[in-house]
Structure 1
Amino acid sequence: MSHTDMNSKAIFFDVDDTLYDHLTPFRQAVWNWVGEQDKFPFEEGYQRLRYHSDMLSLKMGGAGTMGTGEQVEWMRRERFKLTLAEFGIPLTDEEAGLVQSAYLDCQFRIEMFPGARELLTRLQEEGHVVGLITNGAGEHQRKKIEAMDLHRLLPEERLFISGEAGWDKPDPRLFQLVNEKTGTSPEDSLYIGDSWRNDVVGALGAGWSVVWFNPRGAAAESEHQPHHVVRGYDELSRLLMPPVPMREQGRS
């Protein structure tokens, strides 16, 4: 994407694993259950947790239906049971509940990736329409947004949560809703996210441009082609906010 491509862009970000590292709360939650911590593949375990979360959520009607209640609590315990069982660590319902409680607590004590807040600020200062599109229950995701103080940085009308909107990524209707509510068009819209299925496939299906945020070097899961792939915020910042050439800096 060239600098001229960035004129009048709607630029929206995913939240989990795009603005902050979701691996950190997972590591903290399962630390006491995995035996020799230095030998446990935390990244692989976390990816399996995400897989089971997505699949169980889909069976229950999607992330937009997620909130509270016995069924939701069962799902949250079950994803940890299924995940750790793959690594030879069986959990009872009670133990899975303890892991889930620790995970939930850690999720609301999070910090953004270095450079993320600065980039969001600069993009807004440049006049771009900047916001968030995230899957999950409204109350749950808003706690994360507040934990990172994003509700003070971004306008309320640009915070889109699937549990409030009625559609989950990768459903293109969620992205279409964002365009409708913000007065933007797909051809001038860019999405940055880490999930291949939800973010890359979802945004491409809605006609948006896509930057795949892939700090762990995950493999593509289909033939879809994101417009760019970045490993971190230094690279993303250079892509979205390229430096002004020296000859232009000197012009009056």
Structure 2
Amino acid sequence: MNLQKKAVFFDVDDTMYDHLHPTRDALRTVLGLSEHFPYEEAYHRIRYYSDLLSAKGGLLEGKAGANELDDMREGRFILALQEFGVDLTREQAVQVQQEYLDRQYRIESFEGATSLIDELSSAGYVVGLITNGLEEHQMSKIKAMTLENHVAAEHIFVSGTVGYAKPDPRIFEVVNERTGTLPEHCCYIGDSWRNDVAGAIAANWQVIWFNHRNATPESDVAGVYKTAASYAELRRLLLPDAH
């Protein structure tokens, strides 16, 4: 086992593709919200409630049933949109969730994402994905972007199957164990401050915050991280000698 090998792992939602698009389209289709509605601000609150409700129910670790999962998915829309003066009925939330799911499987990766993965692989890096969610749902997104053609199956880690979810550092420890890598030789890239930056730093990984939405840090972290807002910037950070 070569513990000296270097690795780069990516988050999926809002890191490999624009997670706002399916959310915004679902809200506009079902609720008829105007183009002036603050979709990006609402998106951040939907993500907040998704994480909050999932953590309470152990959903991301695969510890809850279908009913609890449905309650979380619908509840995040209801709670988030209330903050923007939009009151959803449970029936409307069900419709929004269905529209959102339909669009989740018609997504495309960010420009430069797959080419960067291929370049890193060619340069000798172990390259993979670490994502929160249930196996079937997350793998459907990964296949929609054809990422399985660029990332080895054994380097794809989904929290619902692993049994730990970001920001729990144990999911990163499992990745190290299964890939034969050391934390200090691994870099994690993700958009979520709480799940990705704080989680990976707690596991002693190097971190690049993929902050393409110009968010602000949500808390202090006991570690150093770099920031990038595009895949061109990520490439310059990860492969500075590439031409």
Question: Shorter-chain-normalised TM-score: which range?
Answer: over 0.9
With over 3 angstroms needed to count, the CA separation of the structure-2 counterparts of 1:113 and 1:66, relative to structure 1, is farther
* Matching residue within 198, 201, 208 for 2:205: 208
Other-structure match for 1:97:
94
Normalised by the length of structure 1, the TM-score is 0.91
The secondary structure found in structure 1 opposite 2:35 is helix
Other-structure match for 1:148:
145
Distance, in Å, in 1 between the alignment partners of 2:168 and 2:212 is: 24
The secondary structure found in structure 1 opposite 2:220 is coil
Alignment of 1:30-45 (within 5 A): 30-32=27-29, 37-45=34-42
Q: Match of 1:236, as an amino acid?
A: L
The alpha carbon displacement at 1:120 in A equals: 0.3
Alignment of 1:162-177 (within 5 A): 162-177=159-174
Distance, in Å, in 2 between the alignment partners of 1:244 and 1:84 is: 45
Q: Match of 1:111, as an amino acid?
A: E
With over 3 angstroms needed to count, the CA separation of the structure-2 counterparts of 1:28 and 1:66, relative to structure 1, is farther
Distance, in Å, in 2 between the alignment partners of 1:238 and 1:8 is: 20
The secondary structure found in structure 1 opposite 2:157 is strand
Distance, in Å, in 2 between the alignment partners of 1:33 and 1:88 is: 16
Q: Match of 1:117, as an amino acid?
A: T
Identity %: 51
Alignment of 1:170-189 (within 5 A): 170-189=167-186
Residues 1:132 and 2:139 aligned together = no
Residues 1:237 and 2:227 aligned together = no
Other-structure match for 1:196:
193
Q: Structure 2: 5+ residue runs without aligned partners?
A: none
Larger deviation, residues 32-41 vs 109-118:
32-41
Please identify the structure whose Cα radius of gyration is greater.
1
Q: Structure 1: 5+ residue runs without aligned partners?
A: 1-6, 246-252
Kept in 2, the 8 Å contact 1:15–1:132? The answer is yes
Normalised by the length of structure 2, the TM-score is 0.94
Q: Match of 2:66, as an amino acid?
A: G
The alpha carbon displacement at 1:67 in A equals: 6.9
The secondary structure found in structure 2 opposite 1:229 is strand
